[in-house]
Amino acid sequence: MPYALRRLLLAPLLALATLCVGTACTAAAGEDTATALDDPAKKEIAMRLVSSAENSSLDWKAQYRYVEDIGDGRGYTAGIVGFCTGCGDLLKVVERYVAARPDGNVLKPFLPALREVKGSESHDGLGSAFVTAWREAADDPAFRKTQDDERDRIYFDPAVAAGKGDGLGALGQFIYYDAYVMHGFRDARGSVGFRTMRQQALKKAESPAKGGDEAAYLNAFLDARVDAMRREPSHSDTSRVETAQRVFLDAGNLDLEPPLKWKVYGDSYRIDAS
């Protein structure tokens, strides 16, 4: 058969083969298109879920100005993820804000007092003047950005990275993030941190990264967290786990896809699909 004719006959077959291979590749890629928690839409869901537990509201952006002593032994709790004076993360927020806005900063005068009360529930040098200054600062875009940046640096980014490392989808990454927000990474006086919870979970189930079942591992992690919460009088209500995160897990919603319905402290919430 002449070469030119052979090329003419083979051309449609080659095109079809290319199309089939491309389609197969597309299909294979489609099998792994689950969106991680750091996707903007998923991150927005995470912020709203945490706000329902921390502030009884889905409007997390209204919480930049939030500040009060909730009686948990950690001094003032404030801002979008409950930074606290006793834990020291609130101090980091103010230090970063002062660095970004050194002149005329209403929170700058409180830096010495914030350093003194770190590790305690004391209000010494703070009081109503500090509360007023925090709320005033919340009108400054630079202060709101500072809260966002510290939330991500201390809690969100490490939690998502840990979740990805353990082979978890968006729900598992959120479960890690919420644990980071409430408990921190390390154990502290009278409380159990994320690191210990994860270690306890791994004793009961393999992570997906090691070939384990994702739902089984997440149930083990939530069990460890519930046990930790029940040891702290201020966190003994476990509804942010049992009637929220566990609900999503039991439904098999490992990708944290809306619509979502849950309860925290007896209040009902929902996020509809867009």
Which residues are the active-site residues?
A: 54, 72
Q: How far is CA 197 from CA 39, 43, 259, in A?
A: 26, 23, 29
**How many other C-beta atoms lie within 10 A of the C-beta of residue 67?**
22
Query: What is the C-alpha to C-alpha distance for residues 143 and 166, in angstroms, rounded to an integer?
Result: 33
**How many other C-beta atoms lie within 10 A of the C-beta of residue 145?**
14
Strands, E assignment, the chain: 67-69, 76-78, 83-84, 260-264, 267-271
Query: What is the C-alpha to C-alpha distance for residues 187 and 200, in angstroms, rounded to an integer?
Result: 13
